[in-house]
Every structure is written in C-alpha cells, then in structure tokens.
Amino acid sequence: MSITRCKVESVSYYNQDTRRILLTLPEGNSIEHKAGQYLEVVSDGKRYPFSIASAPSLKNKIELHIKPTPDSTDSDKVEALLDVATELDIEYPKGSCFLTEMPSGPLILLAASTGITQMKSIVEHLLYEDSTLGDNKHPIFLYWGVVTEQDLYLRELCESWQDEWQAKDRNFRFIPVVSEPDKSPEWKGRTGLVGDAALKDIKDVSNAKVIVSGGPGMVYATLDMFIARGMPEENMSSDIFSYAPRAGC
C-alpha cells in the first residue's frame, strides 16, 4: 500500500477542540474507501490512525475529525502537525470494519467520542444508497456516548439524519448518551454508558449487526455485554479487534 500526499483544503473547529480536516486527493487518484474504513497519517516514520468521516460518495476528498488526547505524546505531535501542515501524507484505505449494504437484521451503531466519525461515513453512505435498499426497513440505531453534552459536536447533524430517514418511512433512531451528567447541568437526556443504554432499549440482539467505535476497554466491555445477551460474537465488528487484540486471543 503506497503513501498518498493530499492537500489540506481546510481546517475548522466544531467546538473548542475538535477539528474538521478536509483533504483533497491528488488528480488522477483512483483509490476509494468503503464506509467505515480508516486511514493513517504518516509523519516522521510514524503512523497515526483516524476514521474517515466522509462517505465514499464524496469524491476526491476525505474528511477527518481530530480531537486531542490528554497526556498523549502522539496526540501532541499530530496537533503540532495540523497547526502548520498544508499537505498530509496518508496511507488508505485501511480496516475491515465497514458496511457496503444493509444487513439482514437490525443495525446497531455504537460510538464513543470521535468514534462518531466512522458512523457518519456509514450513515451517510446508507442515505446516499437509499434507493437501492428496496424494502429493507430493518431498524438502524445510532448510540453516541460522550463525557459531557458539549462533546456532542455533531448532534444537529445526527438529528437531521433521523428526520431524513423517518421522512422516508424508515426506522432510524439517534440516541446520545452522556456519561458524566454532573458536568452537564442542563442535560435532560440519557446518561451512563453507551452500551448499557443500547441494551436497555433493545431486548433482542440475537440477529443484530453491531459496529462499535471507541477505545479498547469500551469495545471489549461492550462485546462481553452483548454476547451475554445472546448476540453471536461474529455479529460485532470493530477495528479494535484488528489493531488492539485482546490479550490471550
């Protein structure tokens, strides 16, 4: 897999610390990603993985959402790079956790923090391909877990997806979940852990396709909870399973 040099077309902020990076691919580029895949930013011999936020239908451009990680040297290096970069070297597409069509049962998307980027690519791809879905009206659930209400930087967009799907008589639900409500005194919505919230709502997960985006601890805890509720292990997908395998597996 070769390195592709992209122009940094724009850098903007969604909130106090989450950047939206829009990259322009070089002319003649013929490589396309699938909805849910990620890329690696390559700098000084190191690789930094980020989910691709844009759907494949956005031709010749790639959207990234990047938020600094406290006490992370790698994150500090990426932030310093983004402050000055006019071009970025990337290696893509990567990852086997993607979706090309609706599964034959319910689809449950579980995102933690900027893991919402992977889900954005998937949902926007399904919306773009809606005319090909036919009578496939299995429900889609999008759960987004964050620490505080302020972290819901794509909340209005997610709500617009819900409105758009429901206008087409399709069952799409967006459920934001705040884990530390004490830091969000105005928050009136769901609280706790995002996996717990999903299992409180969805009693039967035996035929569900589940995609999870978050840190290793969150992903494996969610896997264990869903298996305990009757989901076959192979029904859950996450990039974590590939690049951060559980010890002993």
CB 214 within 8 A of CB 113: yes
Query: Distance between CA 160 and CA 239 in Å, rounded?
Result: 27
pLDDT, position 135: 60
Please write the tens of the pLDDT for every residue from 155-194: 999 999 999 988 888 889 999 999 999 999 999 999 999 9
Q: Is the pLDDT of residue 133 over 80?
A: no
Q: Count the neighbouring beta carbons within 10 Å of the beta carbon of residue 195.
A: 25
Instruction: Read off the pLDDT of each residue in 4-8 and give the average, rounded to a whole number.
Output: 96
CATH number for the domain whose boundaries are 107-243? 3.40.50.80
Which of 207, 191, 195, 208 lies closest to 115 in space, CA to CA? 195
Higher-confidence residue of 19 and 16: namely 19
Domain ranges of the chain: 4-94, 107-243
For the entire predicted model, the pTM comes to 0.94
pLDDT, position 48: 95
CB 124 within 8 A of CB 57: yes
Please write the tens of the pLDDT for every residue from 55-114: 999 999 999 999 999 999 999 999 999 999 999 999 999 999 998 888 888 999 999 999
How far lies 40's CA from each of 7, 49, 81, 92, in Å? 15, 4, 14, 7
Residue whose pair of structure tokens reads 């077309």 in the numeric block: 9
Q: Is the pLDDT of residue 204 over 90?
A: yes
Q: Do domains 4-94 and 107-243 have the same CATH topology?
A: no
**Category of 69 on φ-ψ map: left (φ > 0), alpha (ψ -120 to 50) or beta:** beta
The DSSP symbol for 200 reads H
Which of 80, 78, 92, 74 lies closest to 26 in space, CA to CA? 92
CATH architecture for the domain at 4-94: Beta Barrel (2.40)
Please write the tens of the pLDDT for every residue from 207-244: 999 999 999 999 999 999 999 999 999 999 999 998 78
Query: Distance between CA 146 and CA 201 in Å, rounded?
Result: 18
Query: Distance between CA 89 and CA 2 in Å, rounded?
Result: 10
Q: Which residues of 42-59 are buried (b: 16+ CB within 10 A; e: fewer)?
A: beeeeebebbbbbbbebe
Q: Count the neighbouring beta carbons within 10 Å of the beta carbon of residue 235.
A: 19
Q: Is the pLDDT of residue 127 over 60?
A: yes
pLDDT, position 15: 85
Q: Is the pLDDT of residue 45 over 70?
A: yes
pLDDT, position 168: 83
